[in-house]
Structure 1
Amino acid sequence: MPTAESNTLSFRSAVEADVPQLVELVESAYRGDASRGGWTTEADYLEGQRTDEDGVRRVIETPDGTLLVVERGGELVACCQLEHRGDHVYFGMFAVRPGLQGAGLGKEILAEAERRAREQWDAKEMRMTVVNVREELIAYYVRRGYRRTGQMSPFPYGDERFGIPLREDLAFELLVKSL
């Protein structure tokens, strides 16, 4: 029987030793057949990698940011990027282990990320970009107070570090929430 302690989430900044596990987590949440175990999969419109060890290292090494590692009972269950960018904090690289999605972990982690953005950087706003065809995911963020801006930025077609698109209509939409 799980104890209250085994269900408690702990948060810490990622370190170099976490890189391989973080790549595996992000890949499992977004790409390939493993990602279909959760609801955040991008496998229907993107193939290839979501990130790699160099990409994760760059996030970890960003001077005014952190890659939060989320653990429960000593197991890595999620991660998210927070990067202070002037008047706001950018939220990215959010991944929850597919078998644990849909149980409220994401909501709890997002609330902690917003709290840290306010307290650590006195941020007034959280921003993120979401692939425009991810209507279910965008709706999830809207339910948590994020506003669709309609502001789009191009998908990096031809740069396989971000995956291999299976559609020609991909872009990123900016979502914003006042903190």
Structure 2
Amino acid sequence: MDTTSRPALGELVYRDAVEADADALVALIESAYRGDSSRTGWTTEADILEGQRTDAQGVLAVITDPGSRLLTVERDGELVACCQLEHRGDAAYFGMFAVRPGVQGGGLGKLIIAEAERLARESWQAREMHMTVISVRHDLIAWYERRGYRRTGRMTPFPYGDERFGIPQRDDLQFELLLKEL
């Protein structure tokens, strides 16, 4: 039996999402950020936002956008993470990052973001990676800073009233642009 094309046990497999992945990706993203299941990880937004984080329509829009890719990450055939990369001229945008709550804190996120940065450099010759983070997510921002991202102080308003992004539990939410030179 030839096993050279199969990953070793526990090895990560990266691939671009396809439309058939949409429901599984929504479930992964929701589990990492919303509801009680998200509280088993450290990236939860459950205390600041209720409702959905995304939906199938939003995920499909990323999958089918020719200037974007939704990277899926599997281990032992199980979907464990995903992230969005979007080509924006000399930069790439990093978003929709989710790691299954039960495997958070084990170094997986570091590997995925490094792979996303490599892909942005090699695929699009991106010189910077941009992302937006809810400004009150201090632990998450600190994690990105340890990965080389810097705060810009450039804020954009949270889309209050648009429940596609969740139902805010506080009135001071905004997004801060973080960036890293690649």
TM interval, short-chain normalised: over 0.9
Q: Deviations over 1:100-143 (max 9, x none)?
A: 00000000000000000000000000000000000000000000
Amino acid at match of 1:132: S
Residue in structure 2 matched with residue 142 of structure 1 by the alignment:
145
State whether structure 2 residue 168 is matched by structure 1 residue 173.
no
Q: Structure 1-normalised TM-score?
A: 0.97
Structure 1 stretches of at least 4 aligned residues deviating more than 4 Å after TM superposition: none
Do residues 91 (structure 1) and 97 (structure 2) align?
no
Q: Which residue is 1:120 aligned to?
A: 123
Provide the residue aligned with 1:27 in structure 2: 30
CA distance in 2, matches of 1:6, 1:80: 22
TM value normalised by structure 2: 0.96
Q: What does residue range 1-179 of structure 1 map to in structure 2 within 5 Å?
A: 5-179=8-182
Report the Cα distance in structure 1 between the residues aligned to 2:157 and 2:66, rounded to whole angstroms.
Answer: 26
Cα distance in 1, alignment partners of residues 161 and 68 from structure 2: 28
| Structure 2: distance between partners of 1:20 and 1:65 | 18
* 3-state SS of 1:99 partner: helix
Gaps in structure 1 of 5+ consecutive residues: none
Q: Report the secondary structure of 1:6's partner residue.
A: coil
The root-mean-square deviation of aligned C-alpha atoms, in Å, is: 0.7
Q: 2:173, 2:95 → 1: CA distance?
A: 18
Identity %: 71
1:5, distance to aligned residue in structure 2 (A): 1.4
Q: Give the Cα separation in 2 of the matches to 1:6 and 1:97.
A: 18
Tell me the CA shift for residue 61 of structure 1: 1.0
> How far did 1:87 drift?
1.2
Query: SS state of the match for residue 62, structure 2?
Result: helix
Structure-1 separation of matches of 2:74 and 2:157: 33
